[in-house]
């Protein structure tokens, strides 16, 4: 949908989530589609709950104030992913207020978007700010964030081919609602134990926070760990708390994810791969990123970026099943308003 809007191409999408036990569009999908429709003053057909078929006719991209509310714990960061490319090619500064889950399963935590995605996108020339008004967790949601996005004249290619040396690992272990602060210590301590064993001599600092009631809605817990390198890379591991999983296991899960991605020598982690594909496709010049094993999300993003935009991607194997280089000759999309 984002590429359709940016390139003024009509699009017909069928068999949406057809392999699921409950196929079709859900609440957060509809909110994302409606945001892009509104950002282009376009025509959207088939946008009903559980619909498996939509048609979209985009018109002109517009800047302004936009609002989306999943009314569930649906991820605000996924809505932002959908919206950001369109807002970058608008005429003026745009404001995007989103309500839903800020720290949700199967989606980047808001802390990831701010501390990992944002600094890497800045290399493309992207500029946005994020104000977390209130955090929201599964199952109630209730979170709220405000994004301010500046338009670009165009995006520049990036080169992220060497991880370099680790300089530090920072983190954030949190609880909210009625959950006790001791859970943050358990998550943080179990993660730090594994990280110190894997990366002796690297400074590690994990903050432990009980979110105040005015800054968080409902009960939630989790941890996010970010490794920074001498070449400016940021690689992340994260996990959310569940009733069925011990706090020690939550911390260990986040640490193991981080350790595994770093063991591949990746310049981006498994969750950043697919998020960068659309920006590589739109950029001017040749972008290169070194990754671990490619995720299905990444392969899908490459497929549709090539199909719709015409950008040329090539995946080169460096070490079989361990290390790859994704290269893309972008289409150099220019913002016609700037």
Tell me: cis bond preceding 159? Omega within 30 of 0 counts.
no
Q: How far apart are CA 92 and CA 66, in angstroms?
A: 13
Question: pLDDT at position 247, please?
Answer: 98
Comparing C-alpha atoms, which of 76, 10, 17 is closest to residue 40? 10
- CATH assignment of 166-264, among 3.30.565.10, 3.30.450.20, 3.40.50.2000, 3.30.360.20: 3.30.360.20
Digit-coded pLDDT (tens) for 184-217: 999 999 999 999 999 999 999 999 999 999 999 9
Question: pLDDT at position 219, please?
Answer: 96
Domain-by-domain residue ranges, the chain?
1-152, 166-264
Binding site residues for ATP, as ranges? Answer: 81, 271-275
Cβ neighbors of 119 (< 8 A, separation 6 or more) are 232, 234
Give alpha helix (H) positions in 228-272: 247-263
Q: Work out the burial of residue 88: count CB atoms within 10 Å of its CB; fewer than 13 is exposed, 13-18 middle, 19 or more buried.
A: buried
Q: How far apart are CA 13 and CA 1, in angstroms?
A: 9
Binding site residues, as ranges? Answer: 81, 271-275
Question: pLDDT at position 314, please?
Answer: 98
Question: pLDDT at position 185, please?
Answer: 98
Question: pLDDT at position 128, please?
Answer: 98
Same fold, 1-152 and 166-264: no
Specify whether domain 1-152 bears CATH 3.40.50.1580. Answer: no
Question: pLDDT at position 285, please?
Answer: 98
Question: pLDDT at position 6, please?
Answer: 98
Question: pLDDT at position 44, please?
Answer: 98
Residue 297 catalytic?
yes
Other Cβ atoms less than 10 A from the Cβ of 216: the count is: 24
Residue 243: DSSP 8-state: T
Question: pLDDT at position 225, please?
Answer: 98
Of 34, 185, 210, 297, which is the active-site residue? 297
Question: How confident is the chain (338 residues) per 10-residue block, as mean pLDDT?
Answer: 97 96 95 98 97 97 97 96 98 98 95 98 98 96 98 98 98 97 98 98 98 95 98 98 96 98 97 98 98 97 98 96 96 97
């Amino acid at each position: 949908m984002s590429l359709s809007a940016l390139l003024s191409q009509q699009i017909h999408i069928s068999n949406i989530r057809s392999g699921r036990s409950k196929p079709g569009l859900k609440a957060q999908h509809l909110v994302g589609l409606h945001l892009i429709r509104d950002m282009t003053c376009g025509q959207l057909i088939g946008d009903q709950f559980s619909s498996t078929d939509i048609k979209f006719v985009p018109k002109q991209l517009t800047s302004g104030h936009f609002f989306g509310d999943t009314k569930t714990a649906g991820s605000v960061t996924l809505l932002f992913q959908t919206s950001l490319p369109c807002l970058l090619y608008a005429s003026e500064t745009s404001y995007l207020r989103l309500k839903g889950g800020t720290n949700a399963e199967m989606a980047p935590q808001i802390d990831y978007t701010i501390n990992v995605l944002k600094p890497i996108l800045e290399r493309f020339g992207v500029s946005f700010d994020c104000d977390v008004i209130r955090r929201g967790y599964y199952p109630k949601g209730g979170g709220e964030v405000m994004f301010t996005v500046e338009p670009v004249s165009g995006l520049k290619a990036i080169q992220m081919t060497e991880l370099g040396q680790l300089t530090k690992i920072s983190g954030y272990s949190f609880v909210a609602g009625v959950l006790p602060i001791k859970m943050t210590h358990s998550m943080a301590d179990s993660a730090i134990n594994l990280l110190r064993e894997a990366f002796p001599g690297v400074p590690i600092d994990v903050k432990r926070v009980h979110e105040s009631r005015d800054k968080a809605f409902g009960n939630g817990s989790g941890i996010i760990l970010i490794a920074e390198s001498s070449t400016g890379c940021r690689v992340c591991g994260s996990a959310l708390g569940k009733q069925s999983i011990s706090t020690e296991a939550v911390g260990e899960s986040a640490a193991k994810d981080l350790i595994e991605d770093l063991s591949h020598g990746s310049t981006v982690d498994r969750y950043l791969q697919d998020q960068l594909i659309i920006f590589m496709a739109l950029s001017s010049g040749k972008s290169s990123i070194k990754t671990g094993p490619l995720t299905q999300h990444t392969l899908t993003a490459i497929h549709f970026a090539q199909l719709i935009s015409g950008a040329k991607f090539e995946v080169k194997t460096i070490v079989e099943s361990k290390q790859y280089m994704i290269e893309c000759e972008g289409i150099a999309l220019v913002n016609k308003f700037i």
